[in-house]
């Protein structure tokens, strides 16, 4: 399989994606390789500097770059020779199997929907984020911000898509699914969460019910389902508190000689906490509900984070995540049709 990497996406491009690709290439299987899309001269310069001389990396020129501040839809239409547009075209043309980009979240998401297309039966594709749980395995949270307004049906789809990705890519069998709510009881919440509770409960996932955000750092569930507005708030708040903890530790622990000695003795432990708060350690965020595998890497990804994200694209493709999601949607639609048939039968008998 071929993994397409956006060489121009992210705060540290092209260095970070290209170096990450070089590191990932060393660990890929015999039949797997990478295509880096971006300004060829810039990409090749980093490749040369890195001393890579293998045959697992191709470079495809794309002269334009979509910047983070640009309105996504307009940028995608105008910049036809951008790394994001060209990269996605490779997937449609069958020349690539997965696309990894640390570019503008809006552009990568909008491009996924516009260029690659939604899966039949999916209301809204979601951005699924790896949610770090310090001292434990991470959860997968979706929607992490793509859909500020959601219907309950979307949340049911998020539960199914998240479960399949968690199983096939992150290797958690029969992953638990929790619904973010303002209380744990079944009857709690907004109209949206009450409806979603019933829909998810009746779906083929390992639903553990409502979870409060207080429990997220206790790994309340493997898959955390929520609307994109709340998901965005959760992910960014966690990030912000992580930064604050590091800021406060630095400030306090360097405030006297005694404290400095203490901090020195605890250095490894302090770095450990910092590292666990760090998103980039866990690979990227898949966009689920579209026809091809796309993974959004964090904008601040370093080569190590790119490497992880690129390598995670392998089970995304080989585990046939998208095929499994499609099957699950079809099975649900069939069950719905059967149920409505049964209902007609019953009403027929009653007549």
Chain positions contacting its own copies, by CB under 8 A: 134-135, 145, 148-149, 180, 182, 189-191, 193, 212-218, 228-230, 232-234, 236-241, 243-245, 247-249, 251-253, 255, 258-259, 261-266, 269, 272-273, 276
* Residue (101 or 193) nearer to its own copies, CB: 193
Shortest CB 287 distance to its own copies, Å? 17
Closest CA to 107 of 317, 327, 296: 296
Minimum distance, C-beta of residue 265 to its own copies, in the bound complex (Å): 3
| Residue closer to its own copies (CB basis): 85 or 234 | 234
Phi, psi of 333 (to 5 degrees): -65, -40
Minimal distance, residue 277 CB to its own copies, in Å = 9
Alpha-helical regions (H) of 148-300: 152-168, 191-201, 228-253, 257-265, 267-277
Q: How far is the CB of 84 from its own copies (least distance, A)?
A: 20
Neighbours of 207 (CB within 10 A): 21
When the beta carbons of 1 and 246 are compared against its own copies, the nearer one is 246
Sheet holding 2-6, edge to edge: 57-61, 33-38, 2-6, 98-101, 294-296, 285-288, 126-127
Shortest distance (Å) from residue 289 CB to its own copies:
19
Nearer CB in complex with its own copies: 18/234: 234
* DSSP state at residue 112: I
Q: Which is nearer to its own copies, 276 or 320 (CB)?
A: 276
CB of 280: closest distance to its own copies in angstroms? 16
Give the residue from 79, 80, 76 showing the smallest Cα distance to 112.
Answer: 76
Distance CA 347, CA 351 (A): 6
Q: Which is nearer to its own copies, 85 or 211 (CB)?
A: 211
Bridge partners of residue 5, in order along the sequence:
36, 100
The structure tokens 């797997």 sit at 32
């Amino acid at each position: 399989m071929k993994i397409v990497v956006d060489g121009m996406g992210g705060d540290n491009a092209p260095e970070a994606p290209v170096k990450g690709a070089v590191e990932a290439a060393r660990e890929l299987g015999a039949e797997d390789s990478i295509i880096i899309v971006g300004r060829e001269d810039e990409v090749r310069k980093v490749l040369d500097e890195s001393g890579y001389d293998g045959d697992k990396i191709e470079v495809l020129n794309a002269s334009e770059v979509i910047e983070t501040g640009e309105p996504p839809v307009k940028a995608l239409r105008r910049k036809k020779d951008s790394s994001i547009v060209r990269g996605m075209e490779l997937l449609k043309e069958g020349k690539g199997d997965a696309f990894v980009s640390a570019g503008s979240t809006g552009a990568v998401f909008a491009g996924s929907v516009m260029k690659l297309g939604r899966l039949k039966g999916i209301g809204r594709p979601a951005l699924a984020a790896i949610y770090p749980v310090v001292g434990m395995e991470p959860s997968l949270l979706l929607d992490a911000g793509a859909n500020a307004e959601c219907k309950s049906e979307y949340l049911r789809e998020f539960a199914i898509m998240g479960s399949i990705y968690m199983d096939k890519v992150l290797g958690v069998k029969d992953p638990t699914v929790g619904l973010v709510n303002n209380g744990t009881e079944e009857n709690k919440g907004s109209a949206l969460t009450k409806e979603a509770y019933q829909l998810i409960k009746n779906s083929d996932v390992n639903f553990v019910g409502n979870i409060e955000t207080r429990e997220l750092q206790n790994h309340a569930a493997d898959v955390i389902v929520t609307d994109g507005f709340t998901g965005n708030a959760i992910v960014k708040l966690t990030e912000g508190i992580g930064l604050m903890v590091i800021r406060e530790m630095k400030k306090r622990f360097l405030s006297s000689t005694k404290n400095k000695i203490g901090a020195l003795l605890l250095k490894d432990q302090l770095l450990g906490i910092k590292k666990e708060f760090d998103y980039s350690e866990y690979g990227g965020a898949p966009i689920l509900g579209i026809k091809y595998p796309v993974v959004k890497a964090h904008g601040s990804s370093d080569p190590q984070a790119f490497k992880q994200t690129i390598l995670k694209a392998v089970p995304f493709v080989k585990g046939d995540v998208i095929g499994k999601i499609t099957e699950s949607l079809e099975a649900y639609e069939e069950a719905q049709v059967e149920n409505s048939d049964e209902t007609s039968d019953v009403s027929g008998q009653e007549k």
